[in-house]
Amino acid sequence: MKILVVAPTPFFSNRGTHIRILEEALALEKLGHKITIATYHIGRDIEAEVKTKIDVRRIRRLLFWYKKLEAGPDWQKVILDIMLIRKVFYLARTQKPDIIHGHLHEGALIGWIIQKVLFWRKMKLVADFHGSLTKEMVSHGYLKRGLKTIFSFVEKFISNLGDCAIASSWEGVKDVSSARIQGKCELLLDGVNIDSFNVKISKEEIRYEMELPQDKFIVGYTGGLVTNKGIDYLLDAVHLVLEKRPDVFFLIGGFPSYQVESFIRTHKLESSVRLISPLDYFKLPEVLKACDISVDPKDLDTAQASGKMLNYMAAGLPVVCFDKPNNRNFLGDSAYFCSDMSSREIADGILYFAAHTQEIRKKGELNKERVKKFSWSESGRKLDKIYNSLKK
């Protein structure tokens, strides 16, 4: 089939939303589908990193000053999305796709508009929800009470769009299903490219190349360096851990970098914390192999999946995280689940593994086995079935 993917974001940049868009498209391409991605004017070209015939089409660079790559709302995105409607309309009219696959709530809305305008083409719409629109904006501190009511109404309207809806987490399926009047929401979990974690060089060699300490216990975090990803919990935990175990070293990768850079500089922690920003998604397996354990400190209920957790699992790392249903479903017994959502609990989890190193290999091996259920190939096969069911 010909699939037109609507990606209302600066594709590609090194974060979870973009990884889901890319890996779904690659998995579908392997099954023989022809993929076109409509996206913003900025973002990294993927051809240099992966062998693919995916056609990435960008809007015009009228907002040439807009260069924001990190997650979070911005009023200028309204203009960019209007321009994206025009681009998607042109591509749908000229390429005549079988399926419009709209990512995020904005992408689902854009796809619905084009589907209705070109109704005689009988294109099917798949709405791919990565999390709650309203909860995500609240987590960024963007919505006041009045606006929250408005956006909740808009989110409920968009949740009802599409011939099929899919969500990236168990919580997301529950939220979207409760809002949809007709048709259920399918679960399509984030995946992981397991083959990419077959790193040939040793942990010692990677640490040498990255100039990381060989004799320290390295804790890894990779992902967004913003409040709604839990970075504040992690930074507070750094102090608590180093007070008791100065032999622990923190390797933090992601963006935007300003908060972590300021933290390291202010507290003179250059010998105990390394920041990699931006962190190249295609170098992630090597970075994680340099670590002993990993941390996912996200606490907010935004109904998002946690792609970083799957990468930790594929790297054979035990995880310190909060005790949430989504985390339990991914990790089973192969993690340290914090009893409450606090920096102290994150620190206790890190200190537990530092003192019980025999648990690291045990839980890491469990994670490597469990992650086999969460491959992007499996996600691609499920999407293929959804597409075929819509075209019958």
pLDDT tens-digit map of 144-193: 655 778 888 899 999 999 999 999 888 889 889 998 987 789 999 889 99
25 touches 37 (CB < 8 A): yes
Look at residue 140 in the predicted model and tell me its pLDDT.
Answer: 62
**What was the pLDDT predicted at 146?**
58
Number of neighbouring beta carbons within 10 Å of residue 267: 14
Q: What angle, 0 to 180 degrees and rounded to 10, lies between the N-to-C axes of helices 16-30 and 307-314?
A: 70
Pick the CATH number of 194-373 from 3.30.930.10, 1.10.3720.10, 3.40.50.2000, 3.30.572.10: 3.40.50.2000
State in words which class domain 2-191+375-391 has. alpha beta
Query: Which residues in the chain are classed under CATH 3.40.50.2000?
Result: 2-191+375-391, 194-373
Query: Using an 8 Å Cβ cutoff, are 342 and 233 in contact?
Result: yes
Question: In sequence order, what DSSP letters do the residues of 38-91 get, joined into one string?
Answer: EE-S-S--STTTS----EEEE---SSTT----SSS--THHHHHHHHHHHHHHHH
Nearest 10 degrees: Cα torsion 121, 127, 128, 130: 150
- In the chain, which residues have pLDDT < 50? none
pTM of the model: 0.89
Beta strands in 260-354 (DSSP E): 273-276, 293-296, 319-322, 335-338
Report d(CA 192, CA 313) in Å as an integer.
9
Beta-bridged to residue 252, according to DSSP, are: 221, 275
For residue 170, the model assigns a pLDDT of 84
Both tokens assigned to 128: 């791919």
Per-residue pLDDT at 158: 95
User: Under DSSP, is residue 174 helix (H, G, I), strand (E, B) or coil?
Assistant: helix
